[in-house]
Amino acid sequence: MRNAAVRALTGGVLALGAPGLLGGCGLLGGDNSAQVCADTRKAFEQYITQVRSVAANKPEQWKQATEQLAGKVEGLSGQAENPELKKALKEEGGRLRGAATSVGTGDAAQLNTVITQTPQRIGRACA
């Protein structure tokens, strides 16, 4: 579980910073999107650092870390001034909460799916 999930997470976070996704976020809007997008990327980077040290046979720790990330993403949703970004982050927080439940049982499939799709979903709101 661990290696596949960490690979998906790493690729997802790298894509969050790619040009056209979170890289140019909020430049034209005049709102706080650039900062919220940067904070979102940082939250995912911190999550990767945290789960890299968690053994695959410790699903409760994966669940806890994923729930914390969901909370951070939902919190960022509340800070976002841009309605599209606010919605994208709120939905992503919900997806992460669902993934936390399954990863807590040792099933990383949903987490892998969520993390793989995160850059595209949040990136659209940040472009």
- Cα distance between residue 64 and residue 57, in whole Å: 14
Residue scoring higher pLDDT (12 or 52): 52
pLDDT tops 90 at residue 76: yes
For the residues 110-127, what does the mean pLDDT come to?
87
Is 42 a residue whose pLDDT tops 70?
yes
Place of tokens 């979170």: 22
pLDDT for 97 equals 96
Average pLDDT, the chain: 82
Among 101, 96, 102, CA closest to 117: 96
- Return the higher-pLDDT residue of 12 and 100: 100
Q: Rounded CA gap, 24 and 126, in Å?
A: 7
pTM here is 0.81
What is the reported pLDDT for 5? 59
Q: How many CA atoms lie within 13 A of 27 on its CB side?
A: 8
